[in-house]
């Protein structure tokens, strides 16, 4: 890692404050107080003052293989010296993009054999909107246009992605969602389960989809989109009854099932994809983040034969694509990243070793007087903070996000990156985290 005394932190902060507009930040409130991160290795990041901080969020849920993997940098360098950029429009291809498409198809469930590349998860979800509508047009059902999504879901920040997402503060800025997108309940048992058991509540939440389809008419509904486990919404782990019921409803009502794997894909839940963990067969899977461990921006949509056969087979040209679809250097980064995940058996490790190890320690935090629930699946977890342990009904009175944000800043000062969502604290560490580092994470939480 770089040495911190090379940095004049105050000057960097002031320059940052002068011109840099941070995403998802109250810039005025931030002022010249940015945290300046200058290095990363394994699960650790280092700031400009020399503090080592345990990256309990894998960046933004993405650095599966940890920071500072030389072999990814070498692969990108080698690719850039050969062909730094070329596009994949107009009948053109190049070796890294075709190899990556082949690789992702080989990792995906057997019925999914096509990959459309994008630059991010948001672009992947915009692509989804266009693909599902195109599919139903070609099937002779042009009225099947509406997409059902979930409250508190997150599918990105573009107009399409934020519309699919169910974050009301985002909808409030810029007249979202766009027409043709509706939101139903989330399977958030701790917050919304009332007196029902998790199993009963899982069925109830899933049947909100059935009710919505029936209210609109299945002939108007194109697709349902959801994350296997809601990430940015607060690591909302669905009861085990939820996904099988969702799959049944989509199948019986002829609705395309879109499973957003941007966070859960590439090992986070101990399978290559979250949908495999929950035993459902998606028609489309948006991916990003763990595809390249965030070393370079790249995303995509993995497409089932059912959809590809129609949109490619019958549709002619699909007027859609991005300048950076299949960017050669990003594809090289993704290939090197996937090679590490395979060689180090990180997916099996999450399922059989470090996942169960960290989960046991994490759940023990549920004994703390201010923790209402300590939940974790694979390597993503949340602590629901409560003022008193008298059941799930008693919550903090503070405005939305205050408690989590306060604890997030406290954890950072304590040398741990966590995320605050409403009244919960979130972790999603790199898949390479060691047993000792997992102990350290729990000690600092
Ligand atoms: N989908 C999910 C489930 C996400 O968590 C995110 C980002 O956090 C996105 C989509 C958007 O991805 P990006 O930020 O790469 O556009």
ipTM: 0.99
CA of 412 to the centre of ligand 1 (A): 23
Element (H, E) at 376: strand 371-377
Residue 311: pLDDT band (50, 70, 90) is very high
CB of 232 sitting under 6 A from ligand 1: yes
Q: Is 384 in the pocket of ligand 1 (CB under 6 A)?
A: no
pTM for the full predicted model: 0.97
262 lines ligand 1 (CB under 6 A): yes
The four Cα atoms 21, 23, 26, 28 give a dihedral, to 10 degrees, of: -10
* Distance in angstroms (rounded) separating the CA atoms of residues 162 and 153: 9
- Rounded CA-CA distance 184/434 in Å is 39
Cβ neighbours of residue 153 closer than 8 Å, sequence gap 6 or more: 164, 165, 166, 167, 183, 186, 225, 226, 227, 230, 233, 260
Q: How far is the CA of 270 from the centre of ligand 1 (A)?
A: 19
pLDDT tens per residue, range 91-139: 999 999 999 999 999 999 999 999 999 999 999 999 999 999 999 999 9
Q: Which two three-digit tokens encode residue 169?
A: 């503060």
Q: Please determine, for residue 2, whether its predicted confidence score (pLDDT) is greater than 80.
A: no
CB of 246 shorter than 6 A to ligand 1: no
Distance from the alpha carbon of residue 277 to the mean position of ligand 1, in angstroms: 20
Question: Structural domain boundaries of the chain?
Answer: 4-56+353-444, 72-343
What distance in angstroms lies between residue 32's CA and the mean position of ligand 1's atoms? 27
Half-sphere exposure of 297 (CA within 13 A, CB side): 11
Ligand 1: which of 154, 157, 160, 285 to mutate, most ligand atoms within 8 Å of CB? 154
**DSSP per-residue letters across 160-217:** HHHHHS--HHHHTTTT-SPTTEEEE----HHHH-TTS-HHHHHHHHHHHHHHHHHHH-
pLDDT tens figures, 401-428: 567 777 888 889 899 999 999 889 999 9
**Would you state the structure tokens that stand for residue 148, as one six-digit string?**
């059902």
Cα separation of 267 and 291, whole Å? 10
Question: What is the model's pLDDT at position 1?
Answer: 58
The pLDDT tens digits for 63-76 are: 999 999 999 999 99
d(C-alpha 59, C-alpha 290), whole Å: 11
In whole angstroms, what is the distance from residue 40 CA to residue 349 CA? 22
What is the pLDDT confidence band of residue 3, given thresholds at 50, 70 and 90? low
What is the whole-number distance in angstroms between the Cα of residue 432 and the centre of ligand 1? 22
- The count of residues in the chain is 445
Query: Would you say domain 72-343 falls under CATH 3.40.50.10860?
Result: no
Q: Is the CB of 288 under 6 A from ligand 1?
A: yes
Mean pLDDT for the stretch of residues 258-276: 98
pLDDT for 397? 64
Specify the CATH class of 4-56+353-444 in words.
Answer: alpha beta
Supply the pLDDT for residue 405.
78
Mutate to test the pocket of ligand 1, among 159, 167, 258, 289 (most ligand atoms within 8 A of CB): 289
- Confidence (pLDDT) at 236: 98
Cβ contact 31:17 at 8 Å: yes
CA separation for the pair 59, 145 (Å, rounded)? 35
Q: Which helix (H) or strand (E) holds 112?
A: strand 112-118
Confidence at 398, pLDDT banded by 50, 70, 90:
low
């Amino acid at each position: 890692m770089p040495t911190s005394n090379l940095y004049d932190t105050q000057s960097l902060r002031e320059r940052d404050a002068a011109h840099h507009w941070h995403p998802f930040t109250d810039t005025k409130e931030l002022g010249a107080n940015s945290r300046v991160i200058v290095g990363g290795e394994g699960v650790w990041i280092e700031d400009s003052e020399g503090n080592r901080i345990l990256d309990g969020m894998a960046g933004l849920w993405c650095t599966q293989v940890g920071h500072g993997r030389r072999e990814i940098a070498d692969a990108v360098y080698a690719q850039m010296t050969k062909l730094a950029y070329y596009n994949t429009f107009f009948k053109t291809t190049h070796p890294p993009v075709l190899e990556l498409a082949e690789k992702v198809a080989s990792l995906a469930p057997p019925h999914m054999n096509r990959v459309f590349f994008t630059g991010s998860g948001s672009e992947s979800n915009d692509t989804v909107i266009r693909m599902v509508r195109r599919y139903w047009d070609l099937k002779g059902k042009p009225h099947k246009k509406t997409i059902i999504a979930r409250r508190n879901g997150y599918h990105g920040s573009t107009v399409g992605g934020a519309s699919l997402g169910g974050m009301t503060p985002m909808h409030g800025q810029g007249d979202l969602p766009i027409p043709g997108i509706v939101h139903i309940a989330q399977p958030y048992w701790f917050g919304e389960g009332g007196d029902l058991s998790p199993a009963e509540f899982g069925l109830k939440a899933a049947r909100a989809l059935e009710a919505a389809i029936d209210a609109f008419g299945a002939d108007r509904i194109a697709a349902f989109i959801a994350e296997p486990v809601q990430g940015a919404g607060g690591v909302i782990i669905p009861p085990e009854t939820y996904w099988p019921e969702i799959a049944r409803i989509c199948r019986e009502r002829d609705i395309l099932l879109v499973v957003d794997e941007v966070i859960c894909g590439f090992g986070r839940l101990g399978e290559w994809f979250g949908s495999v963990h929950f035993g459902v067969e998606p028609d489309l899977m948006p991916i990003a983040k763990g595809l390249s461990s965030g070393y370079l921006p790249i995303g995509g949509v993995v497409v089932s034969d059912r959809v590809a056969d129609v949109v490619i087979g019958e549709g002619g040209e699909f007027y859609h694509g991005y300048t950076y679809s299949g960017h050669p250097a990003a594809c090289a980064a993704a290939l090197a990243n996937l090679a590490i995940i395979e060689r180090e058996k990180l997916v099996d490790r999450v399922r059989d070793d470090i996942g169960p190890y960290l989960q046991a320690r994490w759940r023990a935090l549920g004994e703390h007087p201010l923790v209402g629930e300590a939940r974790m699946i694979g390597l993503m977890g949340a602590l629901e903070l409560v003022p008193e342990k008298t059941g799930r009904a008693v919550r903090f009175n503070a405005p939305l996000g205050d408690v989590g944000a306060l604890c997030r800043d406290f954890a950072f000062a304590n040398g741990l990156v966590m995320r605050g969502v409403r009244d919960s604290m979130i972790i999603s560490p790199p898949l390479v985290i060691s047993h000792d580092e997992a102990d350290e994470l729990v000690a600092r939480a």
